[in-house]
Structures are given as C-alpha cells and as structure tokens.
Structure 1
Amino acid sequence: MQRKSLCLALIGAMAFIAGTATAATRVVPFQGPSSSSEQETFGRFIVKYRSGTAQRSDSRKVTSSLNTRVANVFGANKAIRTSHVRRLSANGADVVRTSRKLDMAEAKALMAAIAADPAVESVRIDRLLQHTAAPNDPYYTTYQWDYFNPVGGINAPSAWDAGAKGGGIVVAVLDTGITKHSDLDANALEGYDFISDAFVSGRATDERAPGGADLGDWTTAGMCGANSAAKNSSWHGSHVAGTVAEVTNNGIGMAGVAHNAKILPVRVLGHCGGYDSDIADAVVWASGGHVDGVPDNTQPAEVINMSLGGSGTCSPEMQSAIDGAVSRGTTIVIAAGNDNDDAMNHTPANCRNVITVGATGISARRAFYSNYGTRIDIAAPGGGYNDGANNQENFIWSAGNEGKTVPEKETYMGMVGTSQATPHVAGVVALVQSAVGTPMTPAQVASLLKQTARPFPAPTDRPLGAGIVDANAAVAAATSTVPATLLSNGVARAGITGAAGDELMYMVAVPAGAKLSVLTYGGTGQIKVFAKAGDAPTAQSYDASSQRPGTNQTLTVPTTVAGLYYIKIVGVTAFSGVNIRATF
C-alpha cells in the first residue's frame, strides 16, 4: 500500500486571515527588566510625571512622593529610599537613584508601584549600556547576512542590544527532530516523536516515543512512490532549530535569532514526509493540550514553527488543532511553500489563525521559489538563487550534520526555502514575547509584525505580505511606554473622533534612511498635529508640527535614526471622521 505523505523538507507557511488581528498594540504601564536580566541589579530609574502635576512643577517633590510608595511596597525593614539625581532636559523626566541595588523582582515591584500613581506618565530602568558588539560566533559575520544586512536582513542585532534575546520563551519546532550538536544542545528541551508509523519513523514499532531526536529521513529510489528519487537525510529540523535559537556568544559556529529561548523538538517528519494526523496531534501537545497515549507537555510552547506543507486544503483536524493552540496563547508560524504558486493552494499554509511566511533573498526581492498571494502575512530571508545564491554566502546557514542517512559528525549547512524564512519570524516572535511584561495574544503578535514590517525596497512581482520582518521595530513597538496606537506604513486609520482638548497618540516604526510623512484629512472640526522621534511630542517639544485651520494637516518628520516616531492629534475644537496616514 502506497503511503500518502503530507510534508516535504523545504517548505514553508501561511497567516492570519483578514480581520482577525487587533488594530492597536498592547502598551505596558512600565518597562521593567527583561527575563534575560535575571543576574543584573538595578539602581537608577527614569520617572516621568504628567504635565500639571505637583511633581512635574517642582522636582523637589519627587523624592517624598516616591519614598511614600517605596515604603508601602517594601516596608521599613528593607530600608530602601530614593534620591533625586536630576531632571532631564530632553523631556522633563526625573532620574532617581535607590539607596541600594535591587534585584529583578524588587525592581519590577518598585516600578509597578510607581506606575500605579496617577501622576506618573511612565517609568523605566535607567539602563547601563555598553558598546555594541557582534556575537563572537566565528561564522556570524561571514555567513549570517540574514540577521544584519540592511536591505535583506531582519535587524536582529538592534533588538538584542535593546535586551530582547528570547529568555523564558519556548519555541516548538515541528520538523524532522534535531541531532546532537554543540551549538544546539544547551538550548534544546526533551521533545517527543509523534510519528505513528514505523515506515515513516524508522523505529521498530508504530508507537510514539519520548525525545525529539532526528533519526534521519533518507529515502531510496521508489520508496515514496513510483519514480521517486533517492535522497540523503536532510537534517532539516536541526537547521530550522538553529535559526530560531542556536547558542550564541559561545565562541563557536553561528548565532540564533532568539538565542536565549529554548527549543522543543517535536518529530513529525521522517521517511517520505509526515501524516496530517500526527502533525495535528503534535500541534495540540506542543501548545499544552492533551493527547491520549502521550504524557502531557510540561513546557508548553509560546511559539510553534512549522516549516512543512503540501498541496490541498486545510483539513478539519489541522484547523481544529491550530484553533486550540491559538486559544491557549500559542502563536503558530508556517512556511508558505516553495512551489512558486499561490499559497492558498498549500496546507497548512492556508489554515486560519496562523502567520504565513514567504521568502526573500539578500536583495529583499521575492525568492523565485517562494509561494505568494493574499495568504502571505510577512516575508523573511530564505535565501535566493535570483540573488546570485550560487554564491553560497547567500544561502541561510545553520546547524547540520554530515551523515548521509543516520547522524554522524556535526557541521553547518546552507539551505534556501520558505522553511528557512519561517524560523526567522518564529524567532522574532520569541524576542517580542520575552521583552513584554504580559504575553501578547497570537492576534496581537500577527498585527504587530505586519505593522512594523520593513517595506520592500521595490514592489514585489507577486504579493508577499506586509514587508520583511523587522526584529528591532517589533520589539520597540511592543515595549513602548508611551500609550499609542501603532500605524502601518501607508495604511490610513479612519473615523477619528474627539472633543476640544482631546489628545490622541499614534506611533509608527520607521527604518533607517526613510522619510516620514504624516497626513490627516477629511471629517469636520479643527485639529493640530505634532510628531517627535522616540518620545511623546508636546506643544512645546516636537520635531515637526502642522497647525492650519481645519483637519487637513501635513508634516514631514526628520528621520535621522531608525526607531519609533510618535504622532499626536490635539483637538482645537470637537472633531469627527478624521483620517490619519503615516508613510515612509
């Protein structure tokens, strides 16, 4: 009996349907230390009081106000006091020092107490920064253009410099499993082998088995059907896992996008592929759901990477598994496929409630093989022969193995495909989730990634989503301490309404070298508009403004650096039905 396989080695993924993503980014009340800062201590904080408060009017009142709150949190026995260092000229915020250094839990408790004060606009760590440096992994600079190339890369180093490295996040890689590798082992959890067919798994029985080891997916001629070719083992799962979370700054090999995250290897692909039913069960289990006959997963994944697929429609079983995982808070990232075809024709890329990923090369053009269409949410580096990828440096490089059939000596391999693009996005999701105080929902994550994507430098030949995933822009927007609604490049937000004196704040993530233009139009009433880089503008402090009569305002904002730009609409009179569009 010929076995039907669903999944092939180098394919890739699909996305949230229109209307499911939330419009606004969640804004945290304060920005505390990240989970990657567990061994750090903190002694200085930046507190910004609202205009019109007593503390904003007189910095001498800051210390007494803070010490009252400190005593309520820590009590007199801990003897923590604050002192005022200075008021910042840039935005009127106050730098304060604690009488002793605080650990991460104490710092978060202090900041939560300060943020609860209605007079406080924001509070954050006064971070002690060092000069930035590339990871010391020897192949990083030479081969991993996909992380840092200004045209085709994902802007990962800036996100790392901001403290986002994936700490505390689990990313499940549903693939061929992983091999032992000195650049993976420290970040790998014990997974599970979900293949329930001995022919596919290469094990002695049809039973599923603990561990996520890659036993090889080699085939002989005719093994997978008439005229099927013989193939060596791909070690595809190790390659994908390495892009997500290869151990970094260990002085060997290469780097991972979210290198403080943990990988949960779940084996679903073997000889000739993998069954839809096994993959659906693996989605349920990896996200923390129960699967009969398998011990429950004690470390549920916040992110699932599925660099796999086949032709056809999304099965009811797969859709049900995905919906359940999303309901448990797991973001699912899937490769669009490598058939130069509409992704709508490929599953699970065409399932609902997933993030579908297309592939670009170093020039940021669509890779010739990448599936395309309206189902694609976002693009990421997958390597591209159309970029001269016969030159091996334009491949995506990651962990691998030299074995032809079974694992032998560890190595590093270059591959291309939407399979390689997908773990870049999964890694960025891990960076974002590690940086925020409360996990974002899958819908919020999808919206954030699309709204902060870097625009393609030139129109793509086929639709390929919102742009190229930008790690730094996504992390910056997710952790912004200024309450603001995130705008997508070139997409108007309509129907804005307010009263005289109302202030509405928006933000947009702008890449380096871009020119930001802001336009408000339509509706009735009178407004004025202010914009500023990196912080909330005021009527006294802004980089650009437009204050003509009516609602039609236009301003061009100087953009000397990449980052968040804030736009404030102020009602001069009551206004309604106004539109705003930011374009760069």
Structure 2
Amino acid sequence: MKHFAILSSMLGLAGVLMPAYADETVRLVFNQQQAISQSQTTSQNVGQAGCVSTPDGLTQWCIPAGEAKANSAAGTEPLFAVHELPAHGYDASYIAHLFTQSGQFGVVEADLITSARPVETMDMTVESDSTQINDPYFTSYQLNRYFASPSKANVGSGIIDLWNMVGLPAVLEPKDPIDLVFIDSEFETSKEVTYHSGRSLTTTALTKGGPFQKPNDDFSVRPEVDDVCDAHGLQVIATASAKTNNEFGGAGITNNVNRHAIRSMTCGTGFLSDSANSLLFLAGKPFKDSNLVTPYAGKPGIINMSLGSKSESCPVYLQTAIDEAIKAGFTIVVSAGNEGADTGVKSPANCRGVIVVGALDTDGTIASYSNTGKEVDVMAQGSWIPVPCEDNDEKSTYCFSSGTSFSAPVVSGVLATVKRETGVDDDTLKLALLLTSESVRDARCDVKDTCGAGRLNAAGVMGIARLAKAGGLNRIEHALGSKTECEQIWLLDHFGQKARLCNLFKVTFMNGVLLNNVSYQLVSIPKGEQWDKSTPAVVGTFTQAEVQLGALTPDTLQYGMQVCENGACGEVLVMNTDKATSASKPAACK
C-alpha cells in the first residue's frame, strides 16, 4: 500500500497551529548591546523602557523596563528580548526599523516565522531481510544508496566505509556516547528512538488566537495538536540515529549518542527567536523565562537544525546565539531549505559558522526542491529517506520522507561519529568536510557557489580528522624520507649531488589537497617562541598543495602555514616537522 501526503496541507486543519501573532500585533526582538552605526558607542539594555511614535504621530509603541531581566535565570540579563506590540496597521519589519532608527534600543528586528516540514512522505510495506544488520530497509535500500561507498553509488556517502573504519561496536553500542541535539518540532514516541533528555522552548500558540506557550521541561507532543501534527522531529532524529539491528525500519548513522530533543516549534512552525533561545539554552546563556527550564546537562556535541526562516540576511539575535553555541564547543548542522532557491535568503543557512547541507536525489543529482548557493557546504541524499511513520510501530510498515531536513541529519550523524572517535573541534570537522567531499554527478554543480564542496564522504571525513588529531595534516619531511635505504642510495647515485638531495624537504599543505581559489603561505618563527606572541617570517607563498624546498632549518625554526584568499591570510596552523629534523635524516644521508 502506498499513499502520498503533502504535509503542508495540514496547516489548514482545525483552525489551529498559527504561530504568527494576530494581525493586530507584531513580535520584535531587541538585541543587547548592538550599535546601529559606528558613531554609536553604546546601546541601551534590552530591558530599557522607552517609546517610539508612529509615522502619523497619532500613537506610540512603548517597551516596558526590566521585563526580560526579571524572567531570566538568576535575574541575569539575556542577550535579547522579545516584545509583542500592537501593529497599529504597520508591518513588523518597518516597526523594527523605526525602533532601530530611534537610536534608543540598538538593533531591533522582526521575530521571523520559521518552519520545518518535509516535501512529501510515503508509507510503504516491505518484507524483512535477514543480514548482519537486520533492519528491513538497510540491505534492500540504504546500503545501495547513501550508505554506499562514493565509488559504488552516485549518491553514496561512504557511511558503510565509516562503519568499517571504526568497527560496528563503536556505532551500535552506547559506550561513552556523544551528545547529539535536535532543535526541531514534534518528537513523537517510537521504538526507533530513545530520548536522553528534552525541553520545550516553543512559544507558538497551541490554538489560533490562544496564548503563547511558556518554556518548560516537557518536550512531548501536546494533546491539543497531536491529531494534526506530523512527526518531523522524530523522523529527523531517526535519520541520524534510529536504532539499528532491532528488526525494524531502517538503520541510523550511529546509535552511540545521547539524543537530546529541543522543541522550538509546534506542528512544524514557530518563531525564529525560539530557535535562537534553544541555542542559548545549550550554551548555558540566559534568555527570557530560562528560569522555567532545567539547565542543559550534556556535553558540547553536534546540533542539528532542520528548519528555516525567510530572511535576506542572518538576524543579529540568531547569529549571536549561533556564536555562543559554537564558542561553547558545539558544531551546528543546518538544512539548506526546500524552496529550490538560493540559500542566501534562508536563515540559519545564511548565518556564519554553521554547516549547510543541500539535498541530493536518489540518483545523485540535485533534488529539485533543494536550495543551493554559496552558503552550501556539503550535499547528501535527502530524497526518500526511510523514517518511522507517525504513530505507527507496525513491523511491516515504514515511511519515506524527502527534504533537506533529512540530508542534514545524515551529515550530523556522521560528524557525531567522527567527533566521538577523535574528539576534534568544530574547525577541524568543517575542514574535513571541505577536503574530502566528492564530485556531485550534476552539471549544475560545476557552477561556482552551487553545491559547496560536493557530496559527503563519511570515511574521508574520519580520515582527515584522525590525521589532524595526529598532527599530520600539514607537514614537512625529508624528501627522501619515505624511500627505503636502497631507493635512497639509487636516487643519490642517479640524480646528482648528495648534499642537495639530502637537504631537500617535501612540504605538504592540507594533506595534499589544493582548495579552490586559495594559496598556501609557509611561515616560520624561532624555536622556543610562541605563535601568538611573535611576528612570523614569510618563507614563501604557493599555489600547489605539495612542494619541495631546500634551505629549511627545522632544528632551529618552527614552521606554520596560512590559507590565503584574495590577499587575506587566515590563522597560522602549525606544521608537523617530526620527520624533518636532523635526527630523522634519511639513512643514506647520514
């Protein structure tokens, strides 16, 4: 039996689930300590009282003092405050502009509506397969598609290769699990998922015209909306971490995780400020009514946000929250969006610091619905991902869902596995995705700023992370060092002066991968000095990822590299010179 359900049609059911404020009111976000121009050196606190007049001068919008501070944890000041105000016939963005222009309140922005819904879902009945992994859809479906090696399927992301690298127990058994957090909508119960913890941070009204919800510790589906909501949060979690080897449905990327559910929407819609508050909650920062929820007790891990709002730029309040979460040690993975448009008009996809995931169809081409653009970092299968059906744990029935909502948790599950195994930081995970992604079999990806680095290669990400952890990503070694002594002697006999070859070094940047439109700069400082307290000397700038150089002195100098683009160079990354010292000189040169 098959049936398709376009879930967006559910919005009209029962007259409920309208996250937007009534036409007579707007929600505005007042950012803490944000100047509106370079001439403004300070800004009022978010609790600052004050009024702004309507353009016709007939009435005012007024902000009460102290409300946000009084309702945050321990009375501390939150980073932004949300106020509901009468519209007086004006648009929220325009009112926010007037507040900002007044100079009394810093940057004020409209609280955007956010949504998270699949493109479509399908129920399907199948017979169970009997394999090493006994989930029915693993061998019959997943193993031949996104779990496959990149060389064996156009949409393969090498997840089975990743499993082989770390061993099945490392992904199937909960031993020292990493924290995987989902900021999403309804988290239904299912035999596929066990929730470690959860919170409800959505303020969306449960009924049209009803009161806003308050943050609390109960993240379960509210009975008022259970009959009309889908299971988006559950299905996103299951994509990354559905229980494997339970003879049901499909396999998750990893089970060695603590699953944390943060409900920032109701029935797939909500306010973007609630998603920002969810990030602040994870970072341990105060927000309005944060005193109503138990603080997050997990460790910094991977955050998945399969949601988005239409916005020409990343709102200040969201970027602030993202920055705080990353500073706290989290890696944030977000969906590119399902409008078939440019990611530049979708938040959080257009925010700094997040990993943006676009969606591929089952044949490896760009899915028709997937947003693309310069913000995209990586692509993964997002079409027809096996997920649990809503309110259905029948063994023979499972669902498929499509959307960038499901390509994002494929990446999140992979990064959770890599981070748990290696402990590498956010920057290294991002670099590993960039260095290892495969070409997408779609001519549209040949155009710059369309598909990011390309298709996810899970095993490649693990390889780079392990190499970076061992200090081998950027290295200097004797040019003859990788040869046997016999080969060294032969090369010395046939290719010139011993002194020249024995003092030649092989310099490798980014494991031999040349990033697009960049150059690599080799720099040095004396041994014993600190990089952050010294001015490095530039040895040379190169447009190759591997070069051979003489006249290097690893015994007396430390070497580092910088990635340079358009004349601007990034931070110094230390080069590994363990195999370049006099002590490690090739045998034939001693």
Range into which the TM-score falls when normalised by the shorter chain: 0.5 to 0.7
Deviation at 1:305, TM superposition (A): 0.4
* Correspondences of 1:366-445 after superposition (within 5 Å): 366-383=366-383, 395-402=384-391, 412-436=398-422, 439-445=423-429
- Which residue of the partner structure matches residue 305 of structure 1? 304
- What are the Cα deviations for residues 32-57 of structure 1, in whole angstroms up to 9, with x where unaligned? xxxxxxxxxxxxxxxxxxxxxxxxxx
- Which residue of the partner structure matches residue 534 of structure 1? none
- Which residue of the partner structure matches residue 106 of structure 1? none
The answer to whether 1:172 aligns with 2:181 is yes
* Correspondences of 1:182-261 after superposition (within 5 Å): 182-185=191-194, 188-199=195-206, 206-215=213-222, 232-261=228-257
* Correspondences of 1:479-490 after superposition (within 5 Å): 479-480=466-467, 483-485=471-473
Structure 2 SS opposite 1:249? coil
Aligned 8 A contact 1:357 1:380 in 2: yes
Structure 1 SS opposite 2:326? helix
Q: In the aligned structure 2, how far is the partner of 1:486 from the partner of 1:572?
A: 17
Q: In the aligned structure 2, how far is the partner of 1:189 from the partner of 1:174?
A: 14
Aligned 8 A contact 2:185 2:267 in 1: no
- Which residue of the partner structure matches residue 114 of structure 2? 7
Q: In the aligned structure 2, how far is the partner of 1:396 from the partner of 1:203?
A: 35
Structure 2 SS opposite 1:262? strand
Deviation at 1:236, TM superposition (A): 0.6
The answer to whether 1:449 aligns with 2:433 is yes
Aligned 8 A contact 2:158 2:458 in 1: yes
Deviation at 1:295, TM superposition (A): 1.8
Shift in CA distance, 277/568, structure 1 to aligned 2, threshold 3 Å: closer
Deviation at 1:136, TM superposition (A): 2.1
Shift in CA distance, 522/5, structure 1 to aligned 2, threshold 3 Å: closer
Structure 2 SS opposite 1:172? strand
Letter in 1 for 2:134: N
Structure (1/2) with the larger helix percentage:
2
Aligned 8 A contact 1:287 1:302 in 2: no
Deviation at 1:264, TM superposition (A): 0.5
Q: Aligned to 1:150, which of 137, 149, 153?
A: 153
Deviates more, 1:141-150 or 1:368-377: 141-150
Aligned 8 A contact 1:360 1:381 in 2: yes
Q: In the aligned structure 1, how far is the partner of 2:389 from the partner of 2:512?
A: 35
Aligned 8 A contact 1:200 1:271 in 2: no
- What are the Cα deviations for residues 99-157 of structure 1, in whole angstroms up to 9, with x where unaligned? xxxxxxxxxxxxxxxxxxxxxxxxxxxxxxxxxx7522222122322222622021111
Aligned 8 A contact 1:286 1:304 in 2: no
Structure 1 SS opposite 2:197? coil
Q: How well do the aligned residues superpose, as a CA RMSD in angstroms?
A: 4.1
Structure 2 SS opposite 1:208? coil
Count of residues in Structure 1 that have an aligned counterpart in Structure 2: 374
Indicate the structure whose relative CO is greater, using CA pairs within 8 Å and at least 6 residues apart.
Answer: 1
- Which residue of the partner structure matches residue 54 of structure 1? none
Q: Aligned to 1:478, which of 432, 450, 465?
A: 465
Q: In the aligned structure 2, how far is the partner of 1:408 from the partner of 1:137?
A: 13
> Where does structure 2 lack aligned partners over 5 or more consecutive residues?
1-21, 27-110, 120-130, 476-500, 523-540, 554-558, 564-590
Deviates more, 1:466-475 or 1:266-275: 266-275
Q: In the aligned structure 1, how far is the partner of 2:503 from the partner of 2:296?
A: 54
Q: In the aligned structure 2, how far is the partner of 1:300 from the partner of 1:202?
A: 38
Structure 2 SS opposite 1:158? helix
| TM-score normalised by L of structure 2 | 0.56
* Correspondences of 1:257-406 after superposition (within 5 Å): 257-271=253-267, 273-291=269-287, 292-293=290-291, 294-312=293-311, 313-383=313-383, 395-402=384-391
Aligned 8 A contact 1:200 1:270 in 2: no
Aligned 8 A contact 1:336 1:376 in 2: yes
Letter in 2 for 1:311: K
Letter in 2 for 1:382: G
Q: In the aligned structure 1, how far is the partner of 2:410 from the partner of 2:502?
A: 44
Aligned 8 A contact 1:399 1:412 in 2: yes
Q: In the aligned structure 2, how far is the partner of 1:523 from the partner of 1:453?
A: 24
Deviation at 1:286, TM superposition (A): 2.6
Structure 2 SS opposite 1:413? strand
Aligned 8 A contact 1:341 1:372 in 2: yes
Structure 2 SS opposite 1:380? strand
Structure 1 SS opposite 2:433? helix
Q: In the aligned structure 2, how far is the partner of 1:500 from the partner of 1:507?
A: 23
Aligned 8 A contact 1:484 1:506 in 2: no
Q: In the aligned structure 1, how far is the partner of 2:341 from the partner of 2:298?
A: 36
> Where does structure 1 lack aligned partners over 5 or more consecutive residues?
13-132, 220-230, 384-394, 488-497, 511-515, 525-550, 555-566
Deviation at 1:201, TM superposition (A): 11
Shift in CA distance, 207/553, structure 1 to aligned 2, threshold 3 Å: closer
- Which residue of the partner structure matches residue 496 of structure 2? none
Aligned 8 A contact 1:175 1:237 in 2: yes
Letter in 1 for 2:179: V
Deviation at 1:170, TM superposition (A): 0.8
- What are the Cα deviations for residues 298-340 of structure 1, in whole angstroms up to 9, with x where unaligned? 1144111000002113211111100000001101111111111
Shift in CA distance, 315/201, structure 1 to aligned 2, threshold 3 Å: farther
Q: Aligned to 1:135, which of 115, 122, 133?
A: 133
Q: In the aligned structure 1, how far is the partner of 2:238 from the partner of 2:283?
A: 20
Shift in CA distance, 508/296, structure 1 to aligned 2, threshold 3 Å: same
Structure 2 SS opposite 1:212? coil
Shift in CA distance, 241/203, structure 1 to aligned 2, threshold 3 Å: farther
Structure 2 SS opposite 1:7? strand
Q: In the aligned structure 2, how far is the partner of 1:262 from the partner of 1:522?
A: 39
Shift in CA distance, 180/419, structure 1 to aligned 2, threshold 3 Å: same
- Which residue of the partner structure matches residue 90 of structure 1? none
Shift in CA distance, 245/486, structure 1 to aligned 2, threshold 3 Å: farther
Aligned 8 A contact 1:337 1:371 in 2: yes
Structure 2 SS opposite 1:337? coil
Q: In the aligned structure 2, how far is the partner of 1:11 from the partner of 1:341?
A: 16
- Which residue of the partner structure matches residue 504 of structure 1? 507
- What are the Cα deviations for residues 21-75 of structure 1, in whole angstroms up to 9, with x where unaligned? xxxxxxxxxxxxxxxxxxxxxxxxxxxxxxxxxxxxxxxxxxxxxxxxxxxxxxx
Q: In the aligned structure 2, how far is the partner of 1:269 from the partner of 1:250?
A: 30
Pair member with larger Rg: 2
Identical pairs, percent: 26
Shift in CA distance, 147/134, structure 1 to aligned 2, threshold 3 Å: farther
- Which residue of the partner structure matches residue 7 of structure 2? none
Shift in CA distance, 447/252, structure 1 to aligned 2, threshold 3 Å: same
Aligned 8 A contact 1:11 1:335 in 2: no
Q: In the aligned structure 2, how far is the partner of 1:200 from the partner of 1:396?
A: 31
Structure 2 SS opposite 1:305? strand
Deviation at 1:351, TM superposition (A): 1.0
Letter in 2 for 1:484: G
Structure 1 SS opposite 2:147? helix
Aligned 8 A contact 1:374 1:465 in 2: yes
Structure 1 SS opposite 2:389? strand
Q: Aligned to 2:454, which of 459, 467, 470?
A: 467
